[in-house]
């Protein structure tokens, strides 16, 4: 199991993107958390096996669908200093703020 942190930029708040990410996580057997950030981006901490994480990453990178428009996804592994250390407690996949 590996953990990856994503910051998703684009039209991703107020359009159901967190729920879309949650469904993609469940279908790819990913655990973690998704949350809105005050700058308009969405953060995702995802944990799973490498193949499932690769499929999950491909699924969440949508150009235009249902009002969602992803412009850029930043990706960090656990060794990166931008990886959030404060997020450690979750079970399954959680939509924070609901």
The answer to whether 3 is a known catalytic residue is no
Residue 17 maps to a domain: yes
Given CA atoms 36, 34, 75, 71 in this order, what sign does their dihedral have? Answer: negative
* Overall average pLDDT of the 19-43 stretch: 96
| 62-98 tens-digit pLDDT | 765 667 788 888 898 888 888 887 766 677 888 987 6
Residue 82 maps to a domain: no
Position 69 scores a pLDDT of 81
Number of structural domains (the chain) is: 1
- The CATH number for 62's domain is 3.30.70.100
How far apart are alpha carbons 3 and 31 in whole angstroms? Answer: 9
Position 26 scores a pLDDT of 97
Percentage of the chain lying above the pLDDT 70 cut: 92
The answer to whether 18 is a known catalytic residue is yes
Residue 94 maps to a domain: no
Residue 44 maps to a domain: yes
Residue 28 maps to a domain: yes
- Which of these is catalytic: 23, 35, 36, 52? 36
Residue 60 maps to a domain: yes
- Which of these is catalytic: 18, 23, 52, 72? 18
User: What does the mean pLDDT of the chain come to?
Assistant: 88
């Amino acid at each position: 199991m590996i953990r990856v942190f994503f910051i998703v930029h684009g039209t991703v708040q107020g359009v159901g993107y967190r729920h879309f990410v949650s469904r993609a996580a469940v279908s790819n057997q990913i655990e973690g958390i998704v949350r809105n950030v005050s700058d308009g981006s969405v953060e995702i901490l995802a944990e799973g096996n490498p193949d499932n994480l690769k499929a999950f990453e491909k699924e969440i990178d949508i150009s235009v669908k249902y009002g969602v428009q992803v412009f850029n996804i930043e990706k960090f592994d656990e060794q990166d200093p931008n990886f959030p250390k404060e997020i450690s407690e979750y079970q399954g996949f959680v939509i924070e703020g609901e």
